[in-house]
């Protein structure tokens, strides 16, 4: 009886391992997501655009760099943050025409 339980357990385990190997081998490639290091670099631009001790024009350039990086990696939530930040900074400068996105 014990021998049967041990054999069935190993059979069950080997089937599971084979199933996982097959799933991994034949699964579609994951969509390329930017690495954490790349996201850290563009998040640094976002934090610089929020720094009040920097002039508005320079903060606007940092927001633009952040937005370009977000668009490069096609991250919708980051694009939204970049657009909101850039709009706020353009409003602070008084450049209302460029704050409106067509």
List, for residues 19-39, the tens digit of each pLDDT value.
666 556 555 545 455 566 667
Q: Is this prediction's pTM over 0.85?
A: no
- pLDDT tens digits, 42-69: 888 888 888 889 998 999 999 989 988 8
The stretch 66-94 carries a mean pLDDT of 87
**CB-neighbour burial class of residue 67 (10 A; exposed 0-12, middle 13-18, buried 19+):** buried
Q: What is the mean pLDDT of the chain?
A: 76
Give 58-61 contacts, CB < 8 A, sequence gap 24+: 59/89, 60/86, 60/89, 60/90, 60/93
d(CA 68, CA 96): 20
Residue 54 DSSP class = S
pLDDT for 95 beyond 50: yes
């Amino acid at each position: 009886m014990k021998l049967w339980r041990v054999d069935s357990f190993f059979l069950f385990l080997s089937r599971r391992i084979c199933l996982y190997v097959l799933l991994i081998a034949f699964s579609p490639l994951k969509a390329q997501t930017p690495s954490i290091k790349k996201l850290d670099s563009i998040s640094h631009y976002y934090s610089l655009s929020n720094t009040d001790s920097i002039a508005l024009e320079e903060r606007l350039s940092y927001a633009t760099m952040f937005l370009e990086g977000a668009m490069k990696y096609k991250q919708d939530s980051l694009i939204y943050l970049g657009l909101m930040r850039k709009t706020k900074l353009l409003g602070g400068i008084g450049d209302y025409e460029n704050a409106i996105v067509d």
